[in-house]
Structure 1
Amino acid sequence: MSRQDETGQAGSIFHVRLRSSANGGAVTGDWYVRPTAERKFTEWIGTYGSLDHVVIQLIEETDAGQETVLKTWTKERGEVVGAL
């Protein structure tokens, strides 16, 4: 995936990642615009957030490839800032 946003500028990619178990696979959506990724994070909580063992994360990946977890959701804890 190119690290250029729709304006051609290099920048972060925002991922929304859903895991259904600690060692299971993940479904990930990728966006260049943080508000869009945050909206999808909220939508995924509405769709999948009540399921047992589901973890939904909003992650920022810098153009250097470093990932930072911005928000995490679990049924048991709700939304927390950062990683669990």
Structure 2
Amino acid sequence: MYTVTLRFVPGGPRVMGQWEQEESADRCFLDWVGLYGSLPTVTISLCEVAPDGRERVIRPWPQVPAV
């Protein structure tokens, strides 16, 4: 399963969606980045959820610089 989570302020309430297909979740992630990504405090994440409930971030916004 895949989730996309949107927060307008760090630690604030979240808007979240879940999908079975990564492509569908990725489309939502890109839509939300386009709609809300220019707001200064917004965070958006696309995560893969393992059967045991652990989440792995696939794509964060804002993007984390490579080290």
Same fold (TM over 0.5): yes
Work out which of the two has the higher radius of gyration on C-alpha atoms and give 1 or 2: 1
1:53 to 37, 41, 44: 41
CA distance in 1, matches of 2:11, 2:22: 27
CA distance in 1, matches of 2:53, 2:11: 22
Whose helix proportion is higher, 1 or 2?
2
2:9 to 18, 21, 25: 21
| Structure-2-length-normalised TM-score | 0.88
Structure 2 stretches of 5 or more lacking a match? none
Aligned-partner SS, 1:24:
coil
Aligned-partner SS, 1:39:
helix
1:43 to 31, 35, 53: 31
Deviating runs (4+, > 2 A) in structure 1?
Answer: none
Please list the CA deviations of residues 32-67 of structure 1 after superposition, one character each: whole Å capped at 9, or x if unmatched: 000110111001100110111000000111111111
